[in-house]
Amino acid sequence: MTGELGQLALCFALALSLVMAAAGLTGARADAATARGIAHGATMGMLVFIALAFGALTYAFVTSDFSIADVANNSHTLKPLIYKISGVWGNHEGSMLLWVLVLSLYAGLVSTLGRGGPQLTSGALGVQGLLAAAFILFILFTSNPFLRLDPAPFEGAGLNPLLQDPGLAIHPPMLYAGYVGLSASFSYAAAALIVGEEGWARAARPFMLIAWIALTCGIALGSWWAYYELGWGGFWFWDPVENASLMPWLVATALLHSALATERTGAFRTWTLLLAIAGFSMSLIGTFLVRSGVLSSVHAFASDPTRGFFIMILIFCAIGGALGLFAWRAPTLKGGAAFETVSRETALLLNNVFLVAACAAVFVGTLYPLLLDAINGEKISVGPPYYAATFAPIFFALLLLVPFGPVLGWRRGDLKASLRALAPALGIAAVAVVAVLAVASPRFLTGVCAFAVAGWLIGASILGFLKRKGARASAFAAALAHAGLGVTLMGVAGTTLWRSEALTVLAPGQTMVVGPYTLRFDGVTQEQGPNYRASRAHIALMDGAKVQSMLTPEQRIYPAEGQDTANTAIRTTGFEDLYLALGDDRGNGRWTLRAYVSPLAPFIWLGGLVMAFGGMLSLWGRLRVGARVPSAAVQPAE
């Protein structure tokens, strides 16, 4: 029954999304108040039905209803409840349903909280309805999660054990909240082009911020998961799937900055519209990369092209339609940029130049190998050295310039005064350099540069906090987000440059040394988990002859799925991680053990959190201000 209910709910949602699209777009006209009412109603109706469909699938997973193919292929009765639930989005069909659920949630938010004129909101709902309709059609025709199996199998095939992890249980919803959240900015931009309303950037800002915060957290969470779960101590692999989430983040960051100028002085009006379109386009392209199978091989894609082609057509329609609308309507918008060379507008413009170039590096690096393979069959790898040579210098240049933005005035800045204001940050950067030279060895030039820039970023942010007593929340938000960049930079530099490691085969009772730590191997025991067997190593961290603490890295075997995973043991001081992964069994009780000491590793994700807090502060300030001021009123922000 549940499957049929879900299917039915999905069909109703499709109908309502079409109503939403038609009524919403009609409501973009001034005299169509009735259509606007219908659009709002249809939005809520669609949200309810999508939620019902999602609830039905979740129920099927929780109750292990193996008559539904999706559940049978991706679940198992012995799985703990949390992974039965996360299994809903741990597969293609369910994750697309989550995609549409998030899209509907944003549509609901636009409908209830969206500020800006009624025509603009209605137009945005219309575009959101079009997107929802396209994706529900995609689900119904190529990825239906409610297809039945007859006869139903007695037991399910299980979920990829790598995904059976608390971090990865919440990673996809978080990432989708960001990815798909960019659809709200996209819809607002398209609606603004249709209606010709200029206040769209202000109306869309809360949604941009929510999407950016979620994307930041989602990427940090994914990177953290890769760090502790994959067992190699790495935190970013420049894997195409990771890149697919980084590209929307880079564009969304550019959008947040460009939209500031548009709101405040009307500068970069058309460019901000284009970025809003580009941001969601990157999300769509990322979805295509991850969901079409094109990544594993161009040929795997060609062997089952239905899904890939459907998404490709969808992308062409969405991006092409939006760009067509842009080309047609954007010239009618008044260009209003007026500022001196030294001004905050210039700083924001440079931010965009570097972010777009950085995004281009990731974009080309991710897609060019696929293109080359398709054209002449030549296979190349684009690995970390490529990004170190392209992305890294571009992003580094951006980081150098970041502190200037908040201290320069709008329209006409004062370079001398700004430099004077920032001088103490240079002092902090110098302290950071001295500290690195004193503490760290070996000494790397890149490490010195990284810490200098981190000190510069954090120093400038501290100055921002001190100087701006009584300033708006947004000023503190910017300082916090920029400081987060510095924190992450320190973590990245510390981990990549000063990591020490040891790979040893140990017999029980033997010790090994890694960095400043001495470890004693006390043997391996066999443990039984709910749906796995584990070989658990007992490693004593020694303090002289005393045992300071015990670490237990594991190798888990999941019999239902026939796969094994490494479960690392990480002991952190907050400034340094001791990271242990258990390798293979060498017989006679001897095991391979890999150990890493990663200085400042926790800073990588701490920085991401700090950035996200900056975004939340900005959002809070925005909602508070918005509550006080009538919606359409023009008033300076930031």
Partner 1 sequence: MKKFVFLLMLLAAPVLAAPVGDTFSDPATEARARNLQRQLRCLVCQGESIDESGASLAAELRHVVRQQIADGRSDQQIEDFLKTRYGNFILMKPPLQADTYFLWFAPFLVLIGAGAVAIFVISKARRAVAELPPDLL
Q: Give contact residues for partner 1 (rule: CB under 8 A).
A: 232, 234, 237, 239, 267-268, 337-341, 345-346, 349-350, 352-354, 356-358, 360-361, 364-365, 368-369, 372, 376, 378-386, 389-391, 394, 411-412, 502-506, 510-513, 515-516, 518, 583-584, 586, 590, 592
CB of 445 to partner 1, least distance (A): 17
Structure tokens, 402 = 């970041």
CB of 316 to partner 1, least distance (A): 22
Classify residue 93 as exposed, middle or buried by CB count within 10 Å of its CB (0-12, 13-18, 19+): buried
- Which of 93, 638 has the CB closer to partner 1? 638
Residue 336 has φ and ψ, to the nearest 5°, of -125, 20
Nearer of residues 29 and 411 to partner 1, judged by Cβ = 411
Considering the complex, state which of residue 193 and residue 581 has its C-beta at the smaller distance from partner 1.
581
φ and ψ at residue 562, rounded to 5 degrees: 65, 35
Q: How far is the CB of 267 from partner 1 (least distance, A)?
A: 7
Candidates 335, 330, 360, 333; CA nearest to 345 is 335
Nearer to partner 1, 91 or 265 (CB): 265
Q: How far apart are CA 138 and CA 147, in angstroms?
A: 14
What's the closest the beta carbon of residue 515 comes to partner 1, in angstroms?
8
Q: How far is the CB of 335 from partner 1 (least distance, A)?
A: 8
448 in Cβ contact with 436 (< 8 Å):
yes
CA distance 274 to 100: 24
Name which of 361 and 429 has its Cβ closer to partner 1: 361
Minimum Å gap between C-beta 511 and partner 1 is 8
Q: Measured from the CB of residue 345, what is the shortest distance to partner 1 in angstroms?
A: 7
- Contact between 107 and 20 under an 8 Å Cβ cutoff? The reply is yes
Alpha helices (H) in 63-78, listed in sequence order: 69-74
Nearest alpha carbon to residue 280 among 184, 182, 419: 182
Q: How far is the CB of 524 from partner 1 (least distance, A)?
A: 16
Q: Which is nearer to partner 1, 499 or 622 (CB)?
A: 499
| CB atoms near residue 3 (< 10 Å) | 22
Cα separation, 191 vs 326, in Å, equals: 11
Q: What is the DSSP string of 470-505?
A: T--HHHHHHHHHHHHHHHHHHHHHHHHHH-EEEEEE
**Under 8 Å between Cβ of 243 and 173:** no
- Nearest to partner 1 of 155, 584 (CB atom): 584
Distances (CA, A) of 2 to 98, 134, 381, 428: 17, 24, 45, 61
For the CB of residue 438, give the shortest distance to partner 1 in the complex, in Å.
14
DSSP state of 595: E
∠ Cα 8 13 16 (to 5°) = 130
Of residues 555 and 618, the one with the C-beta less far from partner 1: 555
Bridge partners of 595, per DSSP, are 502, 580
Nearer to partner 1, 187 or 243 (CB): 243
Residue 635 CB contacts under 8 Å (≥ 6 apart), including other chains = 629
Nearer to partner 1 by Cβ, of 16 and 514: the residue is 514
Query: Minimal distance in Å, beta carbon 632 to partner 1?
Result: 21
